[in-house]
């Protein structure tokens, strides 16, 4: 048996999670929180384990609030209802998924701006590819406003909120650049 001092950080977090009163009395399992089967999680996945620890902190707080309101948290139906509320606040994800989301956002932004600014190459009778390259660089710089933030998020819901906000901010700009470019290109083709 290992001593607490000999545990690495991942093992320590797992030990702390399974020794919590709400884990030992089965409330995490009854609420279907995903905090009761830690054997499948690698000890080296500290980011994910810390996310589960944050979820356990939230669950403990919400269970304590429910008990202070007189709810019977030993009742499976009460815990299932409470578990749905806790799970609705966010599903923990692995760090690799948040990093892949950030990369995807960057590539998407680079493609959109590359095409939008590439259209202006056609308007000015220049190379579509050269202007697209400038657009890709602009898209990369713009993606730096949200991609690093996305890479450090711990839930799918938070990633979606940040991506929706960034799309709402930068999406109309790329649409306007594209539409105005297409109109200018059409005018140049018709009249010049």
- What pLDDT, in 10s, does the model give residues 61-97? 999 999 999 988 888 888 888 888 888 877 778 888 8
- The CA-atom distances, in angstroms, between 51 and each of 12, 13, 20, 34, 114 are 14, 10, 16, 12, 36
**Assigned token pair, 37:** 């089967």
pLDDT of res. 31: 87
Please check whether residues 99 and 175 belong to one and the same domain: yes
**Assigned token pair, 52:** 């589960």
CA–chain centroid gap for 125, Å, is: 41
Please check whether residues 133 and 74 belong to one and the same domain: no
Count structural domains, the chain: 2
For residues 70 and 75, what is the distance between their CA atoms, to the nearest angstrom? Answer: 12
Of the candidates 84, 77, 71, the one whose C-alpha atom is nearest the C-alpha of residue 32 is: 84
Give percent helix, percent strand, percent coil of the chain, each to the nearest 5: 75, 0, 25
**Assigned token pair, 173:** 């700009």
Please check whether residues 42 and 128 belong to one and the same domain: no
pLDDT of res. 178: 96
Please check whether residues 58 and 109 belong to one and the same domain: no
Please check whether residues 18 and 52 belong to one and the same domain: yes
Please check whether residues 105 and 41 belong to one and the same domain: no
Please check whether residues 11 and 69 belong to one and the same domain: yes
pLDDT of res. 101: 93
Please check whether residues 61 and 125 belong to one and the same domain: no
Q: Return per-residue pLDDT of the chain as tens, 192 residues.
A: 566 666 788 888 888 888 899 888 888 888 888 887 787 888 888 888 888 888 889 889 999 999 999 988 888 888 888 888 888 877 778 888 899 999 999 999 999 999 999 999 999 999 999 999 999 999 999 999 899 999 998 888 889 899 999 999 999 999 999 999 999 999 999 987
**Assigned token pair, 139:** 């898209």
Please check whether residues 109 and 59 belong to one and the same domain: no
pLDDT of res. 14: 87
Please check whether residues 61 and 32 belong to one and the same domain: yes
Domain that holds residue 81: 4-88
């Amino acid at each position: 048996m290992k001593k607490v001092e000999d545990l690495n950080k991942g093992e320590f977090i797992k030990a702390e999670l399974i020794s919590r009163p709400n884990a030992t009395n089965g409330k995490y399992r009854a609420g279907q929180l995903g905090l009761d089967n830690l054997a499948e999680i690698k000890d080296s996945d500290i980011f994910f384990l810390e996310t589960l620890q944050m979820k356990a902190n939230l669950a403990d707080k919400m269970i304590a609030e429910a008990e202070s309101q007189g709810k019977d948290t030993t009742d499976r139906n009460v815990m299932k209802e409470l578990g749905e509320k806790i799970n609705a606040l966010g599903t923990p994800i692995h760090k690799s998924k948040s990093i892949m989301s950030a990369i995807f956002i960057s590539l998407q932004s680079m493609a959109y701006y590359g095409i939008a600014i590439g259209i202006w190459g056609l308007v000015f009778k220049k190379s579509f590819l050269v202007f697209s390259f400038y657009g890709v660089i602009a898209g990369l710089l713009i993606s730096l406003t949200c991609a690093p933030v996305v890479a450090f998020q711990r839930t799918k819901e938070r990633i979606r909120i940040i991506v929706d906000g960034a799309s709402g901010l930068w999406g109309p700009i790329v649409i306007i650049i594209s539409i105005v470019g297409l109109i200018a290109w059409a005018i140049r083709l018709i009249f010049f």
